[in-house]
Amino acid sequence: MLRAVHGHDPLSLASSSMPEIQAFRGIRYNLGHVGSLSDVVAPPYDVIDETLQDDLYKKHPCNVVRLILNRIERDDDEANNRYIRAGRFLKNWREEGVLFQEADPAIYVYHQEFEAQGRVFLRRGFMSRVRLERFGQGMIFPHEQTLSKPKIDRMMLTAVCKANLSQVFGLYPDKSCEVQARLDAAIADQTPLVATDHLGVTHRLWPVTDLAVIAAVTAMMGPKPVFIADGHHRYETACDYRDQVYDSGFLNAEHPANYVLMQCVAMEDAGLVVLPTHRLLPDVPALSAGELAARLGDLFTTRPGGEEPGSAQAVWEDVETADRQGTLALYTRKDKLWTIVELTPAGQEKMDQVAADRDPSWRQLGVSILHRLILETLLAPGTDLQPKYVHLVDEVVEGLASGDYPLAALVMPATVDHIRQVSMAGQRMPAKSTYFYPK
């Protein structure tokens, strides 16, 4: 590695404020060693629970889960732990030829075909490396708050493996989808690499090494802002790791640590599906529906939604049909009732007061109304809330059946337009405001 000139801020090494994408020599599985790619793929670490982790371990001895989320063992210590094992697997697999590095720099066209909400979708994008810039200092924008624990975890993994093991998900505006059209034309007559994951999603990948195509895509992407849709923790970790490399004296303008692996998808892509993230809340007072209505006062209208956790699906269909950010459903364990609540003009005025530090676009989000107004102001002020986040209504029902949650909330997802508005205002949504499916 080349040693940087001391005294330079790492951010100054990138002179342009526009996003800079580059082709890169990716590291891929050797099909001659692993057979089917379907046996070695895995979703991002943050949606892998212990059951899925165990299933992926059993599926193939070289499944990527051993890199991105190695198991914690009973006798782990500083010399032998999940991060050290991940680094060892990465090193051994490269030496043994399980993994190989691309001969030429490439941009990777990436399609995902999947079923959601009773329809079949095709999400089209590409993977490249993107020059890092701190949020607020360029044209790459976050939209969600991050937590310290996942960033510490990802930093440990990055420091040991010195690699980006899963991509950040970025959105960019492109009304005519000209970037993707240029890439799709380049791979029209090529055979893709194909994998089907545990959810039945079909993934197709094409490396594009044509210099003219790469140059054209790079030029088209240059003036476009990029909004982080998923992978905020990985992106911020990449920035922190870059700064650590700089502090160690081993950073120049083209050092790989200046970049992060990113999947880029046009905001206008027909395959973008945003699912809700519902909340199970363990740290709020146990209220009845009547007591809940009294706490909400004239800030919300309330009406019965249904009885027992099992009516959640019908309740959610009611909320979805309303299609308003200010309409939510709350379940009170004390009397096993669902209540559908809708923000009133008085409630919006109160929201504007208690969230005066936020942009109007932020104050109109369902997740913002839930957290800032309902939970932090009316139901559990001063409480360090630790919700359990789930995406499927069936998961809400399952969680409520445990009896561990005095309150549950069904909330509308933020849209791509909301992400754009809030991000451009320089603000972030509450954690888990969006869930782009599939991961």
User: What 3 state SS string does the chain have?
Assistant: CCCCCCCCCHHHHCCCCCCCEECECCEEECHHHHCCHHHCCCCCHHHCCHHHHHHHHHHCCCCCHHHHCCCCCCCCCCCCCHHHHHHHHHHHHHHHCCEEECCCCEEEEEEEEEEECCEEEEEEEEEEEEECCCCCCCCEECCECCCHHHHHHHHHHHHHHCCCCCCEEEEECCCCCHHHHHHHHHCCCCCCEEEECCCCCEEEEEEECCHHHHHHHHHHHCCCCEEEEECHHHHHHHHHHHHHHHHCCCCCCCCHHHEEEEEEEECCCCCCEEECCEEEECCCCCCCHHHHHHHHHHHEEEEEEEECHHHHHHHHHHHHHHCCCCEEEEEECCCCEEEEEEECHHHHHHHHHHCCCCCHHHHCCHHHHHHHHHHHHHHCCCCCCCCEEECCHHHHHHHHHCCCCCEEEECCCCCHHHHHHHHHCCCCECCCCCEEECC
Q: What angle do CA 430, 438, 358 make, to 5 degrees?
A: 15
pLDDT in tens, the chain (439 residues): 222 222 334 434 343 467 899 999 999 999 999 999 999 999 999 889 999 999 999 999 999 999 999 999 999 999 999 999 999 999 999 999 999 999 999 999 999 999 998 899 999 999 999 999 988 788 998 877 777 888 999 999 999 999 999 999 999 999 999 999 999 999 999 999 999 999 999 999 999 999 999 999 999 999 999 999 888 889 999 999 999 888 877 778 788 999 999 999 999 999 999 889 999 999 899 999 999 999 999 999 999 999 999 999 999 999 999 999 999 999 999 999 999 999 999 999 999 999 999 999 999 999 999 999 999 999 999 888 889 999 999 999 999 999 999 999 999 998 888 888 888 888 888 888 888 999 8
User: CB-based contacts of 334: which residues, under 8 Å, 6+ apart?
Assistant: 286, 287, 288, 291, 406
pLDDT at 135: 82
CB atoms within 10 A of CB 302: 17
**Measured in Å, how far apart are the chain's first and last C-alpha atoms?**
34
Residue 210 token pair: 């044509």
User: CB-based contacts of 165: which residues, under 8 Å, 6+ apart?
Assistant: 64, 67, 68, 157
Separation of alpha carbons 185 and 183, rounded Å: 5
CB atoms within 10 A of CB 297: 13
Residue pair 38/201 in contact (Cβ under 8 Å)? The answer is: no
What's the pTM value of the predicted model, to 2 decimals? 0.85
Separation of alpha carbons 236 and 238, rounded Å: 5
Please count the residues of the chain.
439
